Amino acid sequence: VFPGVRQAQWLTKTKVVEGLPPAVQGIMDNPALGLQELEERAEHVVAHARLWDTAEVAPRRERYCPVLFENLIHICRLMSGKYPSLSKRMLARNCRIAATWERESILLQVRGLSGILMNSMTPIAPVASKEEILATKEHVLETFYPIAPTIDLQEVNVYKELNDTGRCFRDGYPYSHPHTLFFLESASVRTDRFRPEQLRAKMLMFAFGNALAKARALHGNDPKVLEQPVVVQSIGTDGQLFQFMVFQLNTTDLVSNDGIKNLVWIDPDQNLYERAQCVPEVKKRVVTKPAGISGFQPDTFKKFLALYLHGTV
């Protein structure tokens, strides 16, 4: 079976762009924001999650991964003193999503729990220009002939074509725009976790599903190129390795391979730190590896923070 993201591209009629979009990169590179001032605090929360959070000698992933996530979000929230509109956000857990669409002659549906969803009072502005969107007409989607692009999808009888943004977006709910999805692959047993490529495919499908359901709620069910594209971000992590994604829904006209495509920017496999040594390694009474965090990567933290700030800064 071909790797997940390539399949998800076809299913969602999406062109992949490597790296983060300039709008996010610009936040990372802006010295006036003072992101580097929070780097030391970020390194401290890594050590807290991996070394000090529990009396266990070595905390299990199912514990340290959620702890690390909550601590990183806490650091992000500290920026609301400088940017008060950041307080107009809400984290929704166990949010269900359902979105149905047609590709060629195949009826597709993404549904289920879409991780932890951060909602905002205002949408993220489109990250691709009108020219970049028009240029996607030339992009040729990969085909997998003679393999069906739906080869490993679960086949079910659909009695109702659901497009449901879940309880997160009921009429009158003030935080009505999906901002960022967070997926924590925190199972301690490796075989119970999604591999990075599988996780990126899941992130793309659910970012697309949330964007499609939101677009339909705003503009109705008729297939169309969107005057105002819908942007939904996604961050996935196992507590050490991070996946970053920005998805832009440009069209709900998904049946054919022709015309405008959707866009996704992916920055994969970014380590936040190289190693967490819970107890010192001693050989011949000499400490060869002291306890602590080694190889902290401040840029990975800044990417997490930049995606959080995106749409406000």
- 202-248: pLDDT as tens digits: 999 999 999 999 999 999 999 999 999 999 999 999 999 999 999 99
Structure confidence at residue 162 (pLDDT): 54
pLDDT(2) > 50: no
Give 153's pLDDT tier (boundaries 50, 70, 90). low
**What letter would DSSP give residue 34?**
-
Strands (E), 188-279: 225-237, 241-251, 262-271, 275-277
* Integer Cα distance of 293 and 151 in angstroms: 42
Structure confidence at residue 149 (pLDDT): 60
Structure confidence at residue 1 (pLDDT): 35
Distances in Å between the Cα of 78 and the Cα atoms of 41, 131, 181 are: 11, 36, 20
- 267-298: pLDDT as tens digits: 999 999 999 988 777 788 877 777 789 999 99
Cis peptide before 280 (omega within 30 of 0): no
Per-domain residue ranges of the chain: 3-309
Give 159's pLDDT tier (boundaries 50, 70, 90). very low
Lowest mean pLDDT among 62-71, 88-97, 148-157, 290-299: 148-157
A 10 A CB-CB count for 256 gives 11
- The token duo for 128 is 């691709």
Q: pTM of this prediction?
A: 0.91
Max distance between CA atoms of the chain, in angstroms, equals 72
* Integer Cα distance of 208 and 114 in angstroms: 11
pLDDT(154) > 70: no
- Of 133, 141, 116, residue with least CA distance to 206: 116
Mean pLDDT of the chain: 88
Average pLDDT over residues 70-96: 92
